[in-house]
Amino acid sequence: MTTTITLTGAGGQIGYALLFRIAAGDLLGPDEKVRLRLLEIPRGLAAAEGAALELQDGAFDLLEHVEVTDDAAVGFDGCDLALLVGARPRGPGMERGDLLAANGGIFGPQGRAIAENAARGVRVTVVGNPANTNTLIAAAHADGIPAERFSALTRLDENRARAQLAQTLGVPVGTIARVPIWGNHSATQFPDVSHATVAGLPVVPALEKIVDDVPTWLDETFVPRVAKRGAEIIQVRGSSSVASAANATIDHVRDWVAGTEDWTSAGVVSHGEYGVPEGLICSFPVRAIDGEWRIVEGLELDDRARARIDASVAELVEERDAVRALGLL
């Protein structure tokens, strides 16, 4: 079988890190051929064309065809998976929400072009920031495509949270599970360890053996470290995360298509779960079943978790209202 994948921002940093992993089979496995459509704006076309030449030189068995374009109708034609990466990254001192005005305008036209040109059953992953609200804009413009087929990347935050826990506990990261991200892909996000496990056992008692005061460590060290990791990367390397973002995008899309047994995190449309206003794109604990994200329901939230989730959801409401005021929604 062959899957058609459209990557926007293919001439950019994350695009360059993603393309070769997709062509190598990391996204859909060793038996699925891929057709790539690289969608750029005119300024980014030369870089995307260069990447296409290198893809050819990679001699990837799974890669059937590569097309570079700045025409959204061509770019999304027949696409099964759309990866919306193309957007401006933030610089030092900015919050991701500061990009709303600069990037929000990209996602309405792309949502419309997806609705008009993509394959039935298309699944859309938004990476470009601010990812949750850009997803909301794209989904709102994609007439006829259920909002459930759109999701925002928060897997990078979850991977960061699992890595921080593993480092603190001195265990391999693969032994850490169930660390969902709630809310916005922003500094208000809530990485939640209350249900987390290490080698199948609860994480909190394991942390208590290492950290003096676990609630204080969570509030003052762990949560801010994870929530502000994007800013830390920008400060240290001078530009925003690239390879780890591409890696998380691969994790997210692979799991969405192939399914998950355990929980992961994704920004998905709320139907009112956990009191999150209907229609917002909020990160929740999710499973992927039969190609659909399913929110893990019925989890108990203590007061601390509730307050943090409410704060992040309030920010999502503010962002939604801001893009409405800008006429983008």
| Residues classed as catalytic | 185
82 binds ligand NAD (CB under 6 A): no
Q: Which of 34, 39, 193, 269 binds ligand NAD (CB under 6 A)?
A: 39
The binder of 247, among ligand NAD, ligand LMR, none, by C-beta within 5 to 8 A per type, is: none
Residue 268 CB, nearest distance to ligand LMR (Å)? 18
Given candidates 13, 103, 241, 265, which one binds ligand LMR under the rule CB under 6 A? 241
State which of positions 55-114 bind ligand LMR (CB under 6 A): 89-90, 96
CA distance 283 to 303: 19
Binding of ligand LMR at residue 240 (CB under 6 A)? yes
What are the backbone angles phi and psi of residue 61, rounded to the nearest 5°?
-55, -35
CB 118 → ligand NAD: shortest distance, Å?
A: 15
Q: Which residue is nearest to ligand NAD (CB)?
A: 12
Q: Which does 233 bind (CB under 5 to 8 A by kind): ligand NAD, ligand LMR, none?
A: ligand LMR
For residue 319, report the phi and psi dihedrals to the nearest 5 degrees: -65, -40
According to the binding rule CB under 6 A, does residue 156 interact with ligand LMR? yes
Q: How many residues bind ligand NAD (CB under 6 A)?
A: 30
**Could you say whether residue 129 binds ligand LMR (CB under 6 A)?**
yes
Say if residues 131 and 99 touch (Cβ distance below 8 Å): no
Region 8-37 residues binding ligand NAD, contact defined as CB under 6 A: 8-9, 11-15
Is residue 230 near ligand LMR by the rule CB under 6 A? yes
User: Quick one: three-class SS letters along the chain?
Assistant: CEEEEEEECCCCHHHHHHHHHHHCCCCCCCCCEEEEEEECCHHHHHHHHHHHHHHHHCCCCCEEEEEEECCHHHHCCCCCEEEECCCCCCCCCCCHHHHHHHHHHHHHHHHHHHHHHCCCCCEEEECCCCHHHHHHHHHHHCCCCCHHHEEECCHHHHHHHHHHHHHHHCCCHHHEECCCEEECCCCCCEECCCCCEECCEEHHHHHHCCCCCHHHHHHHHHHHHHHCHHHHHHHHHCCCCCHHHHHHHHHHHHHHHHCCCCCEEEEEECCCHHHCCCCCEEEEEEEEECCEEEECCCCCCCHHHHHHHHHHHHHHHHHHHHHHHCCCC
Query: Residue 128 touches which of ligand LMR, ligand NAD, none (CB < 5 to 8 A by kind)?
Result: ligand NAD
**Choices 40-48, 176-184, 237-245, 259-267; region in contact with ligand LMR by CB under 6 A:** 237-245
Q: Which position among 19, 34, 87, 250 is part of the footprint of ligand NAD (CB under 6 A)? A: 87
Reference 49, options 61, 36, 62; nearest CA is 36
Closer of 68 and 266 to ligand LMR (Cβ)? 266
Closest separation in Å from C-beta 138 to ligand LMR? 17
Q: Does 44 bind ligand NAD (CB under 6 A)?
A: yes
How many residues touch ligand LMR (CB under 6 A)?
Answer: 10
- Residues within the interface to ligand NAD (CB under 6 A): 8-9, 11-15, 39-41, 43-44, 85-90, 106, 127-129, 131, 153, 156, 185, 240-242, 245
- Residues within the interface to ligand LMR (CB under 6 A): 89-90, 96, 129, 156, 230, 233, 240-241, 245
